[in-house]
Chains A and B, each alone.
Chain A
């Protein structure tokens, strides 16, 4: 790609804006919040999707840590919290928890999540419909998903937050794991504050494509976990099998302006999550309209990595 690409050609090529590429922190399980934010800012991110998980942000059904200090820590590093995701797959709190007590606590938890999102200045909360068990009728789980999201929708509206519902892998749930199910769910909930989140791993595992998602849901797709996969694994771009540029083309063609969160979860990244984030951000540089000045697209300048060591750019 040359520096003098004309506007028309640029618009027809895969392109992305810097603030759309959003960092996540699941792979910083063994590092504190401050380390994570430092590393993500140094990698070049301007947006993060904050996950409500230990040790970074503690939240339960009764309340949460002071969000103002966390927001300040992010903003001091030039990071905006674009989306807040209270952990919703492995903790106790699950959208479709089967027994009444668990379900009620989970509902309270997600309400606290919406309130926290609002205090972070985030306009989005991402979640899913995990929780039903295999020995329960599908219809009952589905009804619980509709009922749960319908209960959360007005709270989301009060908080000025939109709920993005993702599909998940069949290992995680028996309900809302495919595009047609999600489309039906959104139609049944029928609330402007309950929309779709595209997770490229759940999508790939279900044998679906971004083109199908946009064809079916279009502007209802308000958020993305946009990561590489085989199709399993939540990988740094380049470590999986997905065609990054083709997928970005689809996003561009459908005018997607939301975030592309780097939900990197594979344990291979836990030891050095900063290195993974650096590569995750760099993968988007060739397509970035407003790439930061200290990064180069053609490897002529040096890139400073998070540990302050100069090394050649390999973009």
Chain B
């Protein structure tokens, strides 16, 4: 009988739910819980990137190495901070472009080959085509810049309450076609695709090996939850990854406020659930 499996290196711990703890605490916890890979969320108090520059890359790299971890994907905070790919006003566009470029530079300096991004959201009181066009223009500029620094952008779709630009598989296909860059690839966030009524099979069917990254979390379908706290079937979904030969990372983008008080306990449970599927 087919047994779903996952490699320990594929599980990429994330630090969003450690927002009330220090970076040292996060790294120490990841190492002790058996993580080997991380998807580094760049937000304070862990990592500071802004539109002007990025800070302390060498120190951050050294700390990560000291904990025997590797940054597989770099994810600049791209929902809460004052930057977005769909920005409209010239100053906002300039700052947003600067911010994501600094993310790419930070990724390069940390030896990380992939940066996560989304389409941005624009405004609700304008024709969708206008925000779409601005999003496409910034994605083109960023994809070119990323290519020059050996970084691939992995773009996720957003929920309809977050954006009206790229929220579905169809939107993703269309945007990738319009940007048409080898440095912009799709990734699937289980929450967003579930909310859109789509499945992992749909996304693998559409993109195959071009699907470069996953935010692989439990949900109901909303929420970015630890496995066990939502309604998804971990074993079945790992089986889907196996059947499509997915060898990329499973970013643990756990964002629900319920985990902020004790993120280590959440990660402990999460990792134990994955370990049932490790050889």
Choice from B25, B84, B124, B257 contacting A54 with Cβ under 8 Å = B84
**A97 near B92 (CB under 8 angstroms)?**
no
Choice from B52, B125, B260 contacting A171 with Cβ under 8 Å = B260
* Chain B residue at minimum C-beta to C-beta distance from A29: B121
Specify which chain B residues have a CB less than 8 angstroms from the CB of A158 in the assembled complex: none
- Distance of A23 Cα from B247 Cα, bound (Å): 51
A62 within 8 A of partner (CB): yes
Segment of B75-83, B194-202, B236-244 engaged in the interface with chain A: B75-83
* Chain B residue at minimum C-beta to C-beta distance from A30: B124
- Distance of A79 Cα from B81 Cα, bound (Å): 27
**B87 near A55 (CB under 8 angstroms)?**
yes
A135 within 8 A of partner (CB): yes
Interface residues in A, total, Cβ within 8 A: 32
Per-residue 0/1 for A179-193: is the Cβ within 8 Å of any B Cβ (1 yes, 0 no)?
000000000000000
A60 within 8 A of partner (CB): yes
- Distance of A295 Cα from B98 Cα, bound (Å): 47
Choice from A32, A105, A135 contacting B22 with Cβ under 8 Å = A135
Interface residues in B, total, Cβ within 8 A: 34
CB distance from B25 to the nearest CB of A (A): 5
Choice from A55, A90, A97 contacting B45 with Cβ under 8 Å = A97
- Distance of A134 Cα from B29 Cα, bound (Å): 14
Q: Given A91-B81, A133-B22, A133-B25, decide whether A55 and B88 contact each other with a Cβ distance below 8 A.
A: yes
**A58 near B82 (CB under 8 angstroms)?**
yes
B63 within 8 A of partner (CB): no
CB distance from A110 to the nearest CB of B (A): 15
CB distance from A229 to the nearest CB of B (A): 16
* Chain A residue at minimum C-beta to C-beta distance from B89: A55
* Chain B residue at minimum C-beta to C-beta distance from A87: B82
- Distance of A227 Cα from B257 Cα, bound (Å): 22
Per-residue 0/1 for B23-58: is the Cβ within 8 Å of any A Cβ (1 yes, 0 no)?
011000000000000000001110010111001100
* Chain B residue at minimum C-beta to C-beta distance from A35: B125
**A60 near B52 (CB under 8 angstroms)?**
yes
Specify which chain B residues have a CB less than 8 angstroms from the CB of A30 in the assembled complex: 121-124
B279 within 8 A of partner (CB): no
Q: Given A60-B50, A101-B55, A101-B56, decide whether A135 and B25 contact each other with a Cβ distance below 8 A.
A: yes
**A267 near B88 (CB under 8 angstroms)?**
no
- B-to-A contact residues, CB < 8 Å: 20-22, 24-25, 43-45, 48, 50-52, 55-56, 80-84, 87-89, 91-92, 95, 121-125, 161, 257, 260-261
Other than the given A55-B123, A87-B82, 9 more pairs (CB < 8 A) read A35-B125, A54-B87, A58-B92, A90-B81, A92-B50, A92-B81, A97-B45, A101-B48, A134-B21
- A-to-B contact residues, CB < 8 Å: 30-32, 35, 53-55, 58, 60, 62, 65, 87, 90-92, 94, 97-99, 101-102, 105, 131, 133-136, 171, 174, 267, 270-271
A selection of 18 A-B contacts at a CB cut-off of 8 Å is: A30-B121, A31-B124, A32-B125, A55-B89, A58-B82, A58-B91, A60-B50, A91-B82, A92-B43, A92-B50, A94-B45, A98-B22, A98-B45, A102-B48, A135-B24, A171-B260, A174-B20, A271-B124
